[in-house]
Amino acid sequence: MGKRVFMFPGQGSQYVGMGKGFYDSMPQVKEIFELASEKSGLDIPNLCFTENDKLNITEYTQICMLTVEAALYKALVDKGITPDVTAGLSLGEYGALIASGAMTMEDAFGVVRKRGIYMQEAVPTGGAMTAVLGLDPEKIEEICKETAQKESAVVSIANYNCPGQIVITGQKDAVDKAAAACSEAGAKRAVPLKVSGPFHSKMLEGAGEKLGEALKDVEIHDIKVPYITNVTADYVASKDDVKDYLKRQVSSSVRWQQTIERLIADGADEFIEIGPGRSLAGFMRKINRDVKVVNIDKLEDFEKYVNR
């Protein structure tokens, strides 16, 4: 018997108009957008559906992405489609927490609004992220470690996305030097990313500390559906561990490839990407082409899947 995974993308997949087809046709989706607006103090439908300069700014991106993910998740559950296990990339881990039963939507919206603000405030000048393509992760880890020591600077791996794609993060000069060393070591390409800061690096530890304080007021419920954390690429065994992982996740590497490999080893054979874009489906094609991958982004994706 196989397992169905609900997986939720992180920021970077957002676009104007995301979720609108669901919002216009499903009352329960509209209610979730209204709840997110109430908990965040923002006009979430306006941010998601109309051209604006805020959607790509971290403090707004995160709450908007989570709102869409939560709404699409609710639409699936209302049709009787539920997960056996769940996971999310970076911000997407909050979608996984909702699907696991460990955190209510209300609390997740409140926490993620604060998470986005803390991460935006913590963004120092001179931070950068670069995707390194076509080089073994062990070699990239070695180069980052050597560069950090040589330059007395911060540079490390932010994301293990899939075979052949690793993202490095840290202080810009150190990231640039590490990227150049990766190219010399045989990387096919090193592509600077258009991001507002060095996410998932030690430079974001302050944001993680603030998030940890905010989480003290949040109730974590029993984990009803198993979920995997980015920090360890392993299942979270106890609800008592959730807050610490969320605090650490802000400045830790996202072990996405390892997460997917663990799920497949445990019998997962259907992966549903819930939310804007198709980034996770793209990673899946490079991790394992033999499992079924479904993307639920637009209303027609949803209708095609539920009517299959």
Active site residues: 90, 200
In one-letter notation, the amino acid at residue 272 is I
Angstrom distance (rounded) from CA 21 to CA 299: 5
For the beta sheet containing 155-162, the strands, ordered from the edge strand earlier in sequence to the opposite edge, are 155-162, 165-171, 127-133, 189-192
Structure tokens at 181: 């060393």
Residues with Cβ within 8 Å of residue 91, at least 6 apart in sequence? 10, 11, 62, 65, 66, 112, 115
Max CA separation in the chain (angstroms): 57
Contact (CB, 8 A) for 242 and 146: no
Residues with Cβ within 8 Å of residue 141, at least 6 apart in sequence? 157
Q: Which residue has the tokens 């549903």?
A: 272
Strands 189-192, 127-133: pairing kind: antiparallel
Contact (CB, 8 A) for 14 and 58: no
CA 115 to centroid of chain Cα atoms = 13
Angstrom distance (rounded) from CA 161 to CA 137: 10
Q: What are phi and psi of 102, to 5 degrees?
A: -75, -25
Contact (CB, 8 A) for 72 and 209: no
